[in-house]
Structure 1
Amino acid sequence: MTTPEATPEAGQPRPEERLEQAVRAAEQALIEFEIAVETFRVEVENFSRLHHQKLGPMYARLDELDAQIAEARAARTGDPEDLRRAEEARARVLPMPGVEELFHGWMDGNGLFPEAVAMLTDQQVRPPERVRPSDEARKLYRELARQAHPDLAQEDDERARREEFITRVNAAYARGDEVLLRELAEEWAAGPAPAERRPSPSEELYARLEWLAARKEMLTSLAGELENGAIGSMLRMAPDDPDRLLDEIADQLLAEVAQKEAELAQLVG
């Protein structure tokens, strides 16, 4: 006697439908995860820029003082070991930058930035501004990322259109440009409606789940690198007020500079 083939109970979704629901849920979860990772990446990038602008000169001063102290001590003792330490300390001091390094961040394909023109013409130079996206910019970015994410496309042409659009969205968000984000939201709303999903065979759905899992693994690795890096670790120490953390580090460095200057004065005095 043969056993009848199992059939879905009345009102229950078919296995293919459940699999498709799982794929859609995984896609949405991945998009939310990508938004979180990209948001943190922008925060790390902005904080890194501020860290370099505010603390970079202090670190350079400490390196120079270390070299001068080692050289003064070597000049006093003449000891070969002190001479070696002095050479190593001097080698750690950053050399004078070349022309390309001097203009890094001041010039692009269109010529000098306005700040560079002001500096070269003895006009007042506007200090660098912190790029911190507003709450509204964050909201607009999240909405656009959810609506236009390339992973929601099934056709190559639609994916390419979404990738080009999301690239512009990411650039506007990185600059904290709320006005441009609003314009991009209007552009997306007026554009062609995304193509509806077509039913896919089970094999394609399984392959899609595997791709999503691999993508999430890659993003998890990237998030770990950001969080465990020097700047990410500092941000995690003071997530609500990173500026205060910079001020505290600056105070510590200034105290260290004063201590080393006093040490150098004793050696050369």
Structure 2
Amino acid sequence: MTHEAAGVPTTRNDEDRQDSDRPDASRPAPETQDHAPGAPDAAGGPEGAAPRPEARLAKAVQAAEQALIEFEIAVETFRVEVENFSRLHHQKLGPMYARLDELDALIAEARAARTKDPEDERKAREARAAVLPMPGVDELFHDWMDGDGLSPEAAAMLTEQPVRPPKRVRPSEEARRLYRDLARKAHPDLAQDETERQRRDEFIARVNAAYGRGDVELLKELVEEWAAGPVPPPAPLSESEELYARLEWLTRRKELLTVLAQELEEGPIGSMLRMAPDDPDQLLEDIAEQLLGEVSRRESELAEMVQ
């Protein structure tokens, strides 16, 4: 059966006219169906029925996951760019900034020596304090030094001697009592199945750690925890609840990444990168040229003051 558009004239050939004279020509041909009535359609429901709410929510979760992946890639890419640019900035311009700070301190000290003004002397002290000092030995070794020099552990490592074990804490009588009570109640050998044994093993490991430190308060908390019994497993979530929980996590993750991206963009290095996103190397060259000019001017000023 041919479908003709309304208002559009058509022509019929002889075969069409012969067909129209047949007795069955007036009856329309049965339409061909791709699937039986009531069969599910592409949306996962019966033909003509609205898609399930879970199906729409699943699509929203999938779209949010893809968007988060792309956002994470963009943030991580920018973070690496900021880190690399910061390293180059420090390597190339760090000595110039240090030279400027040193010249500022020398100029302030020369001015204070000439004027003897207490205010100039105060500014000179502040300028000198701003100059990055050479790190001391204690700063280089951080926590490796105590009041008598290198700590025993650090000295042993540097001289390739065995490290002495740390001092043992002798638990109090109360700690020993709490430990014995917990060990009797939660010992893994009292478990009736493998799951219970694993729970007891993990719990006793925490008890041993607290007892080793002599932490009475933590042992008391563990006593209360064991008395309360195992935490019941959470009730299984429905499909909708799982999808909503996933969507909420994706939203929180996006918010955290947004904060990180904003901090990167608003930081000093990120701000510099945004000034010349296509050619950051040239930006470094321009800044270096400006700093060299500042160094030259300060050196001239200092030379005039000390003549």
Name the TM-score class by shorter chain.
0.5 to 0.7
2-structure distance, mates of 1:90, 1:8:
81
1:210 paired residue number: 248
What is the CA–CA distance in structure 1 between the aligned matches of 2:139 and 2:95, rounded to whole Å? 16
The secondary structure found in structure 2 opposite 1:239 is coil
Gaps of at least 5 residues in structure 1 are: 1-6, 104-198
Equivalent residue runs for 1:33-72 within 5 Å: 33-72=71-110
User: Percent of aligned pairs with the same residue?
Assistant: 79
Q: Distance in 1 between matches of 2:285 and 2:49?
A: 63
Count the aligned residue pairs.
169
What stretches of structure 2 of length at least 5 have no aligned partner? 1-44, 142-236
Give the alignment partner of residue 69 of structure 2, picking from 31, 37, 53: 31
Equivalent position amino acid for 1:230 in 2: P
- Aligned twin of 1:10: 48
The whole-number CA distance in structure 1 between the counterparts of 2:285 and 2:262 is 26
Aligned pair in 2 of structure 1 residues 99, 238: CA closer, same or farther (>3 Å)? farther
Shift of 1:97: 2.4
Counting only pairs closer than 5 Å after superposition, residues 88-99 of structure 1 correspond to structure 2 as: 88-98=126-136
Q: Does 1:231 align with 2:274?
A: no
Partner of 1:262: 300
Give, in whole Å, the separation in 2 of the partners of 1:102 and 1:243.
32
1:10 aligned counterpart, secondary structure: coil
Q: 1:20 maps to what in 2?
A: 58
Task: Report how far residue 207 of structure 1 moved.
Answer: 1.2
Q: C-alpha root-mean-square deviation of aligned residues, in Å?
A: 2.2
Bigger relative contact order, structure 1 or 2 (CA pairs below 8 A, ≥6 apart): 1
- Cα contact 1:69–1:264 (8 A) shared by 2: yes
Contact 1:63/1:89 (8 A) holds in 2: yes
Find the residue that maps to 2:299 and give its secondary structure. Answer: helix
Match of 2:194 in 1: none
TM-score (norm 1): 0.59
Give the letter aligned to residue 270 of structure 2.
G
Deviation at 1:11, TM superposition (A): 5.5
Q: Which runs of 4+ in 1 moved over 6 A?
A: 100-103
How many Å separate the matches in 1 of 2:62 and 2:288?
A: 48
Report which of the two structures shows the higher radius of gyration computed on alpha carbons.
Answer: 2
For 2:113, the equivalent position in structure 1 comes to: 75
Shift in alpha-carbon separation, 1:100–1:247, aligned structure 2, 3 A: farther
Which residue of structure 2 lines up, in the alignment, with residue 161 of structure 1? none
Q: Deviations over 1:1-30 (max 9, x none)?
A: xxxxxx976264211111111101100100
2 CA distance for matches of 1:39 and 1:12? 41
Question: Structure 1: how far apart are the matches of 2:303 and 2:290?
Answer: 20
CA separation in 2, counterparts of 1:263 and 1:16? Answer: 74
Report if the CA contact (8 A) 1:73-1:82 is conserved: yes
- Cα distance change of structure 1 residues 31 and 17 upon mapping to structure 2, 3 Å threshold: same
1:172-191 equivalences under 5 Å are none
Distance 1:85 1:246 in 2: 31
Alignment of 1:108-257 (within 5 A): 201-257=239-295
**Distance of aligned partners of 1:13 and 1:67 in 2 relative to their CA distance in 1, 3 Å threshold:** same
Q: What is the rounded CA distance, in whole Å, between the counterparts of 2:129 and 2:66 in structure 1?
A: 52
Seen in structure 2, the aligned counterparts of structure 1 residues 54 and 83 have a Cα distance that, compared at 3 Å, is: same
Counterpart Cα distance in 2 of 1:8 and 1:234: 58
